[in-house]
Amino acid sequence: MSWRTVIISSTAKLDYQMGYLVIRKDDVTKIHLSEIETVMIESTSVSLTAALLCELTKKKIKVIFCDEKRNPSSELISYYGAHDTSLKVRNQIAWTDDIKKHVWTEIVAEKIRKQALHLQHWKCKEADLLYQYINEIECGDVTNREGHAAKVYFNALFGMDFTRSAENVTNAALNYGYSLLLSTFSRCVVANGYITQLGLFHDNVFNQFNLACDLMEPFRPLVDLKVKKMAFPFFEKEEKHEMVSLLKEEVTIGNRNEYLTNAIKIYTRSVFDALNDNDVSQIKFYRTNEL
């Protein structure tokens, strides 16, 4: 089944009898809930029914709310993601520092590898330095090869004057794409019965999504690649819709082609298996033609 991301910018309600999401704008659009994976509430002027929101939560459909600038600002998360959530949380608390460090090391190495492949795609010589950083990674990335790689990577990709803190179109597009990834990963964490606050490396007490932040790292270069390819002159409604389409692109994982959203599920489950079985070899990473 081809699951989809639905963007709502007007009025929406639930058709109880048929199980459809009904969107009213100039025309009436009906989409069966079984076909939906994510709903994005694009505007603060959108009108929704409580019945719809409750049913979306029951069906484990991710709901993302945007602010007055149409940027993702919050999301709806179910209290109960799985029937054995209590057991999963106990397991999560029991993960040892040792296995968390080893899993984090694998995640960081794969992120830098994907960044290096991305630079190679654009024939940037700095890719060689990133491969060197991979060889220098120590357990838990105590020497912060991830941070060193990020600086080299973004300067090679977007220019020596580029910084992630600047307010510009490129950063707006990157932030939007990263927020979509974060939301998708937090949905997977909860759906698997774990809690997003307890991370492997990220441990900010004010961050509700530490674990999702950890897991998404190797997927960030997919956002970077799309932003680089599109070279947005500005970042408005149509450009945001283009970024949302990233979730429907195909990648290879486990020797199969999968939509990105499904690949995220497979990868996330494999990380949890690695953590629970103390075996990092179980982690499944994605591949694309460029990455």
Distance CA 183, CA 38 (A): 9
In eight-state DSSP terms, residue 16 is T
Burial of 214 (0-12, 13-18, 19+ CB in 10 A): buried
Q: Is 249 annotated as a binding residue?
A: no
Are the C-beta atoms of 273 and 282 separated by less than 8 Å?
yes
Q: Is 60 helix (H, G, I), strand (E, B) or coil?
A: coil
Which residues, at least 6 apart from 126, have a Cβ–Cβ distance to it below 8 Å?
119, 152, 153, 155, 156
Q: Is 238 annotated as a binding residue?
A: no
Q: How far is CA 130 from CA 41, 102, 138, 213, in A?
A: 38, 20, 15, 21
Q: Is 118 annotated as a binding residue?
A: no
Annotated binding-site positions for Mn(2+) = 146, 202, 217
Annotated binding-site positions = 146, 202, 217
